[in-house]
Structure 1
Amino acid sequence: MIVIRHADDIVVIDAGVTFPSADHPGIDLIVPDMTYLSDNADNVRAVVLTHGHEDHIGAVPFLLRRVQAPIYGTPLTLGLVRERLQEHHLLEVADLRIVQPGERITFGHITVEPIRVTHSIPDTISLAITTPAGLIVHTGDFKIDHTPVDGRSFDAARFAQLGDDGVVLLITDSVNAEKPGWVPSERIVGRFLDQQFDHADGRILVTTFASNIHRIQQFFEVAADHGRKVAIAGRSMQRNVRIARELDYLRYDDSLSISVDDLENWPDDRVAILTTGSQGEPFAALSQMATDRHKIRIKEGDTVILSSTPIPGNEIGIWRTVNRLINRGARVVYDLITPVHASGHANQEELKLMYSLTRPLYVVPFHGEPRMMQAYTDMVMGMGAPRDSVIWLQNGDRLGLDGVGAEKLEPLEITGSVFVDGTSADGISDLVLRDRRHLAEGGTVVVTLTRDFDSGEILSGPEFVARGFLSSEDTEDLFLEAASRVRDALDDLSATDDVDAEDAGTVVRDTVARLLRKRTRLRPVVLPIVTEI
């Protein structure tokens, strides 16, 4: 999410989510902190979306709960957004407006023009943003594909024109800044899929990102060429295929499609399965197949093609799934051994071309980790760019432009991210997340005791119940020591006036937690239950 502001006019570019890692137990999504936009809701003129990937549109429902502004995007992008809003019961209040490359939309002092680019999802756009402080080019996610599957080419001429007009700031994709050369065309993947279909005698299962409509189109075409019927497994894949067909971004004959239940009625060499699970997600269809918990059972002779690349952090889950598939008799094909995937992000030569076309005074590499931003910085400095013309921004940073210069301003006071667990519309606190980590890593210990209301004397307990901590044999002596320390601590507490059960519970929790941490180096969640009679 990037916010462009001049005076009282605010335009928001994209509103995406990130996905949790093992450090975020129980978390479904991570969304940006939108406090600044909530505080300035009356000044938000528009939300402009560059494409339909979740890391660019997934937070739109959370944004709409705080800001009522029109949402602009290309047809496929808004088609995917519409589904998200319907899930959140917000579609009726949303103002969705289609925009096409070449149009110019003015929001007060800010004018936005979409520009056609190529990426791993159709209908992706970059943005030329005209402001009183100068022209900003925001590339969004892009690659330069000269032979795109849908025939809609990257508009290099328009970027060159903007460079002639004078670009003050280029905000650019930097995800593949470490990779030399050019990204292969998406069409290359279709050729290698065709080769794999040639060599397969049994069923073929292909998994890719559910939003990669170009890849899915090629899968259907290859399956048809080889006389195979297609079944789709996984809700997100079924949903995106339906949306893309309705909007005419995906084309295949109805006779090609069969249901998962119909697979048993067809010979193995006459079917192909398109499935979710390219990132090893535990509940995705392919992961369920790999553990024999799906109606599609992996068997000897199956060919499974992972037409994707691991998102950083997902490697363990992906290779676990691959190994399980192999153990069940499948032949597994993936990008490390056969080029069945092409990135949607520009490599170094494409990034250089974008920089050369636009010739900006300043450049902000975004959408990358620090190592990628460093690689981008080294790259453009090698092209002659001054080091101080490359600006790195973190969440909450502000950059001021005056037409000739750029200066980092006082950053916003934000938390950085909001954790959403499916039940909390406004997210959960770091305290809740910390407790979940402790539960996952150290388990929980419940301490119960009864004390006299008047005297504070312990009438029964303390008794200990542990789950996910240590075995009962290992905790017997430990809990005896903890019980002794709790009694001593409560005896000391009883000497003070106005001590209630809440105070006693705090003492019990702190006393037990310190001892367990000291003796075991574990940090279980300690839950004291103090009853007064």
Structure 2
Amino acid sequence: MADTAVQPFVFLPLGGCGEIGMNLNLYGYGPEENRKWVIVDLGVTFGDASTPGIDIIMPDAGFIEERADDLLGIVLTHAHEDHMGAVARLWPRLRCPIYATPFTAWLVRDRLQEFGLLNEVQVIEIGLDHRFELGPFDLQLITLTHSIPEPNGLAIRTPAGMVLHTGDWKIDPDPLIGESTDVEALNALGEEGVLALVCDSTNVFVEGHTGSEGEVREELIRVVGEQKGKVAIASFASNVARMETAMVAAEENGRRVCLVGRSMHRMSAAAKSVGLLNQFKPFVDENEAGFFPNDKILFLCTGSQGERRAALSRIASGDHRNVSLGEGDTVIFSSRVIPGNEKDIIELKNKFVERGVELITDRDGEIHVSGHPARDELRQMYQWARPKLAIPVHGERRHLVEHAKLARDVQVGQAIAPHNGDLILLGPGKPGVIDEVPAGRLYVDGDVIVDAEAPSLKDRRKMSFVGHVTVAVSIDARGRILEGPACLTRGIPDAPDFSLDAFEEEMEDVAHETLSRAKRVDAETAETLVMRAVRRRAQDIWGKRPLVDVIVLDENA
């Protein structure tokens, strides 16, 4: 890296602060008018009941999109969707190289191929512990442990100082897949001098340690061995160590493994591409699983969070074309409940119970451990890195504030709990928030990317609560009714004490009366008058004000 006068070194989170997921981190170096940037991670989060019709939500990358000429690359710490799931959809707006280790690179290429971009994008595969330069940035991968292969921290060096960006991590002495945490490298960074530690906050309220994948393996082998019927294990597809554990538990108990769900097949293919999972018997195809005795098959399924279109939900509903579970069978939830998914998971479990399926969860044994650091692990990371500044990320507001407090308790000189859009000066000089830039969300609506404040989404939310009324009428040049009004409704109740037919007739009468009182109105004025009158009358007789569209056909138009 060429010697230059020390320039401002900044950090800008556009996603992942104030929320768990949807990570997008920017690091910039240089004067504002000529600043060079790198992106660290570009992920998604998922829709819920408050976003009807929206499954995928992405950070708004508009700030860096406007500066794409100065964007040197996207560096991915690991392959979880909340860290790399937005790459394929947002790359056409950024058009820069992507840097990733082999497992992550395989999944990135797979997603790019899905979007028809594989031949356009430069995906640069880098090795674990690799060190490379991008413009003014000297970047070094640091091996950590997490619930997916090849998780990395990232040391980012500039003339203004060095930052350690952890990505997702935990301390696991027996991770089963991959190397354990590179303590030597972390201590070396601490000796060199860490300007700031930008660190995962997910489990900051959890005391102690999160536990080891090795302990989960022992417990799952035992639990699977106790079951007599068919067994299904629900787990996060990206947890390849857990996938391997399920395969070990199956083979040690005389069972074969059948993968159920597209994500399971995708992750197993990525794992095999880097030499993992190849020592086991081939997976049983779904079409053949039914020919195995009940005590000789184990299904490894997606859908542990109750996702309605995932394999496990379809099995619970009896809608899966190849897999069925019932009396005497068992579902093992080797996963945690992600906040916000409680209702869907309870509904899923109730459907299985109705079918006579036994359920085993992490409350019944050590069949799941988190991939994120608890408080003792966070304290250990601060002892290794010894940063001057702590910047908690990857957490809700309460996580970030608590993490900042913990950092101060372990004698870190300064801690900043950022919001998305906070531009933080790391050096030279005193660190702090120096500006605020726009930060928002983009919704994937079918095949279209829209802003979170798009009128279509506001209307959809409103329709989900108050329904919709359409009134159509034809008028002449003097505003007199030629035909109609006719009313069509959606989402309006029809009950013994509330007749939908009577409601629609009332709306037609209101529209007729409104236009009859008006004199010589044009189509636009007629639409406004009828819309207001219908909404008021609906409020009077129903108690809600629906969305109302009025279609006026003017014979002279």
Q: TM-score when scaled to structure 2?
A: 0.90
- Partners in 1 of 2:47 and 2:545 — Cα distance? 22
Question: Is the Cα contact below 8 Å between 1:144 and 1:346 reproduced in 2?
Answer: yes
- The counterpart of 1:288, out of the listed 310, 314, 319, is 314
Name the residue aligned to 2:21. Answer: none
AA matched with 2:463: L
Question: What is the CA deviation profile of residues 160-197 of structure 1, one whole-angstrom value per residue up to 9, with x for unaligned ones?
Answer: 21112111111100000000000100111111111111
- The counterpart of 1:465, out of the listed 463, 484, 488, is 488
Question: Is the Cα contact below 8 Å between 1:217 and 1:251 reproduced in 2?
Answer: no
Of 514-523 and 160-169, the range deviating more from structure 2: 514-523
- The reply to whether residue 446 of structure 1 matches residue 473 of structure 2 is no
Name the residue aligned to 2:547. Answer: 525
AA matched with 1:258: V
Question: Is the Cα contact below 8 Å between 1:420 and 1:428 reproduced in 2?
Answer: no
Q: How far off is 1:137 after superposition?
A: 0.8
1:67–1:477 Cα change, 3 Å? same
Unpaired runs of at least 5, structure 1? none
Of 138-147 and 263-272, the range deviating more from structure 2: 263-272
Question: Is the Cα contact below 8 Å between 1:221 and 1:252 reproduced in 2?
Answer: no
Question: What is the CA deviation profile of residues 435-468 of structure 1, one whole-angstrom value per residue up to 9, with x for unaligned ones?
Answer: 111222222211111111x101122332322222
1:139–1:528 Cα change, 3 Å? same
Name the residue aligned to 1:25. Answer: 52
Name the residue aligned to 1:6. Answer: 29
Name the residue aligned to 1:70. Answer: 97
Of 189-198 and 474-483, the range deviating more from structure 2: 474-483
Name the residue aligned to 2:129. Answer: 102
Of 16-25 and 374-383, the range deviating more from structure 2: 374-383
Give the match's secondary structure for 1:410.
strand
Of 36-45 and 395-404, the range deviating more from structure 2: 395-404
Give the match's secondary structure for 2:94.
coil
1:256–1:84 Cα change, 3 Å? closer
Q: How far off is 1:407 after superposition?
A: 1.9
Alignment root-mean-square deviation, CA: 1.9
Q: How far off is 1:396 after superposition?
A: 1.6
Question: Is the Cα contact below 8 Å between 1:37 and 1:66 reproduced in 2?
Answer: no
- Partners in 2 of 1:109 and 1:440 — Cα distance? 50
- Partners in 2 of 1:231 and 1:273 — Cα distance? 5
- Partners in 2 of 1:178 and 1:485 — Cα distance? 58
Following TM superposition, the consecutive aligned residue runs of length 4 or more in structure 1 with deviations greater than 6 angstroms are none
Question: Is the Cα contact below 8 Å between 1:118 and 1:142 reproduced in 2?
Answer: yes
AA matched with 1:176: N
- The reply to whether residue 237 of structure 1 matches residue 260 of structure 2 is no
Question: Is the Cα contact below 8 Å between 1:9 and 1:107 reproduced in 2?
Answer: no
- Partners in 1 of 2:87 and 2:545 — Cα distance? 37
- Partners in 2 of 1:400 and 1:380 — Cα distance? 19
- Partners in 1 of 2:201 and 2:142 — Cα distance? 18
- Partners in 1 of 2:123 and 2:517 — Cα distance? 65
- The reply to whether residue 505 of structure 1 matches residue 505 of structure 2 is no
- The counterpart of 2:389, out of the listed 351, 356, 362, is 362
1:485–1:53 Cα change, 3 Å? same
1:494–1:106 Cα change, 3 Å? farther
Name the residue aligned to 1:269. Answer: 295
- The counterpart of 1:126, out of the listed 153, 158, 162, is 153
Q: How far off is 1:508 after superposition?
A: 2.6
- The reply to whether residue 417 of structure 1 matches residue 444 of structure 2 is no
Taking the TM superposition and a 5 Å limit, the aligned residue runs for 1:15-54 are 15-54=42-81
- Partners in 2 of 1:104 and 1:407 — Cα distance? 28
Question: Is the Cα contact below 8 Å between 1:230 and 1:273 reproduced in 2?
Answer: yes
Of 461-470 and 55-64, the range deviating more from structure 2: 461-470
Q: How far off is 1:88 after superposition?
A: 0.7
Give the match's secondary structure for 1:65.
helix
- Partners in 2 of 1:448 and 1:425 — Cα distance? 32
AA matched with 1:462: P
Question: What is the CA deviation profile of residues 297-345 of structure 1, one whole-angstrom value per residue up to 9, with x for unaligned ones?
Answer: 1111111101111111111111111111111011111112222111000
1:361–1:428 Cα change, 3 Å? closer
- The counterpart of 1:486, out of the listed 511, 518, 534, is 511
- Partners in 2 of 1:515 and 1:306 — Cα distance? 51
Taking the TM superposition and a 5 Å limit, the aligned residue runs for 1:45-194 are 45-194=72-221
- Partners in 1 of 2:55 and 2:540 — Cα distance? 33
Question: What is the CA deviation profile of residues 128-181 of structure 1, one whole-angstrom value per residue up to 9, with x for unaligned ones?
Answer: 001222111101000011111025010122112111211111110000000000
AA matched with 2:43: G
Name the residue aligned to 2:11. Answer: none
AA matched with 2:492: F
Question: What is the CA deviation profile of residues 234-282 of structure 1, one whole-angstrom value per residue up to 9, with x for unaligned ones?
Answer: 11111211221122132333x4421111122211111111111111000
Question: What is the CA deviation profile of residues 461-495 of structure 1, one whole-angstrom value per residue up to 9, with x for unaligned ones?
Answer: 32322222121744566555544543455467645
AA matched with 2:122: D
AA matched with 1:282: R
Question: What is the CA deviation profile of residues 330-387 of structure 1, one whole-angstrom value per residue up to 9, with x for unaligned ones?
Answer: 111111222211100000000111112112121111100112112212322332345x
Give the match's secondary structure for 2:550.
strand
Identity among equivalent positions (%) equals 35
Question: Is the Cα contact below 8 Å between 1:135 and 1:168 reproduced in 2?
Answer: yes
- Partners in 1 of 2:276 and 2:202 — Cα distance? 26
Give the match's secondary structure for 1:25.
coil
Name the residue aligned to 1:391. Answer: 416
Question: Is the Cα contact below 8 Å between 1:168 and 1:404 reproduced in 2?
Answer: no
- The reply to whether residue 215 of structure 1 matches residue 242 of structure 2 is yes
Q: How far off is 1:62 after superposition?
A: 2.2
Name the residue aligned to 1:301. Answer: 328
- Partners in 1 of 2:259 and 2:178 — Cα distance? 26
Give the match's secondary structure for 1:392.
coil
AA matched with 1:407: G
- The counterpart of 1:433, out of the listed 449, 453, 457, is 457
Question: Is the Cα contact below 8 Å between 1:14 and 1:56 reproduced in 2?
Answer: yes
1:303–1:252 Cα change, 3 Å? farther
Unpaired runs of at least 5, structure 2? 1-23
- Partners in 1 of 2:113 and 2:177 — Cα distance? 28
Question: Is the Cα contact below 8 Å between 1:16 and 1:31 reproduced in 2?
Answer: yes
Q: How far off is 1:101 after superposition?
A: 3.1
